[in-house]
Homo-oligomer: A and B are copies of this chain.
Amino acid sequence: MLRHLPYFIAVAEEENFQRAAARLKIAQPALTRRIQELERKLGARLFDRLPRGVRLNEAGRVLRDDGKRVLEEFDRACQRAARAGAGEIGRLRLGYNDVALKFPVVASALREFRARYPDVELRLMPMPSEAQRAGLRAGSIDAGLFYMEPEEVAGLAGFTLIEDDFLLALPRGHRLADRGDLCLADLTEERFIWPSRTEGRVLYDRMIAACRERGFSPNIEMEILTADNTLSVVASGIAVGFVPLSQLGAEPDGVVLRKVADFSVPMRLDLAWVDGAAPPVAERLAALLKPLKRG
């Protein structure tokens, strides 16, 4: 019965079968039958049959007014669904770790996303990398920007944006601040501030393993959550610490960043989502980031 509605609306608006048929691009007899069926199923006449032509009656006017709204709402519903499917409306809950937004490519991609898809609710959720992996699997975020660990990719899809590593942050004026080559063996006397294991168990373990490989055991004074915090503690002169290479240029005045030659913990900052369950909005964001680094 629903399928008869567009036919009826056409006839109701024209109050003339021929013009309505032309508008619908069908022949007039077909239209006559559609209307007859509709009237039969409704159990009510919708038009008064005049000796010449037809005119809407009371029931017809009711159905014209109500039915027109139904058609319009259906059109809107289809458009909204299509836009949702294309990722032009909806919600994107995007996890990001403490450093992700500091990369110009990421920041500018997010600005571009906002501009291009103003009807998408972009919810930026700061979360440690570990929490993002859990959040993706639990469905509490739709995509994440975080350090991807090769052992943890099961069920996730995505691509790398930035390849990163660690630099040593030293207070300006520290005895090693101006040394040529630094290696782990130079750091046995230092007190370290270390990224917390709760933030990223896997990354933490890899850092420790990289030290152990060189026979080095860091003297960990305190654990802390973000690179920002590490830098401010280092600036105060209390300790030294490793921060991602990407912090270069963002360090405060009292801090210098130096490469440690025999300490490398390669990290990949990825945009990731649950494999096969990426909402369209996430794909739109991916499309904006993809050109910036390989897929």
Query: Which of A's residues lie within 8 Å of B, judged by CB?
Result: 1-3, 5-6, 42-46, 48, 57-63, 66-67, 69-71, 73-74, 76-78, 80-82, 84-86, 89-90, 276-277, 279-281
Most buried by B among A2, A48, A69, A86: A2
Please tell me how many copies of the chain the complex holds: 2
B81 contacts A66, C-beta separation under 8 Å: yes
CA distance A48 to B1 in the complex (A): 30
Choose from B69, B80, B86, B279 the contact partner of A73 (Cβ within 8 Å).
B69
Residue of B nearest to A68 (CB): B77
Q: Interface of chain A, helix or strand or loop or mixed?
A: helix
A90 contacts B58, C-beta separation under 8 Å: yes
Choose from B5, B62, B77, B78 the contact partner of A84 (Cβ within 8 Å).
B62
Choose from B43, B70, B89, B280 the contact partner of A82 (Cβ within 8 Å).
B43
- Across chains A and B, which 9 residue pairs bring their CB atoms closest together, nearest first? A44-B85, A66-B77, A59-B85, A63-B81, A59-B84, A3-B3, A62-B84, A59-B81, A70-B74
Residue of B nearest to A77 (CB): B66
B67 contacts A70, C-beta separation under 8 Å: no
| CB contact under 8 A between A82 and B2, given known A58-B279, A69-B73, A77-B63 | no
Residue of B nearest to A89 (CB): B62
CB of A90, distance to nearest CB on chain B (Å): 5
Residue of B nearest to A46 (CB): B81
A279 contacts B62, C-beta separation under 8 Å: no
CA distance A63 to B82 in the complex (A): 9
B42 contacts A78, C-beta separation under 8 Å: yes
CA distance A62 to B85 in the complex (A): 9
CA distance A281 to B84 in the complex (A): 46
Chain B residues near A45: list those with CB within 8 A: 85
| CB contact under 8 A between A280 and B73, given known A42-B82, A78-B63 | no
A73 contacts B76, C-beta separation under 8 Å: no
CB of A286, distance to nearest CB on chain B (Å): 15
A5 contacts B67, C-beta separation under 8 Å: no
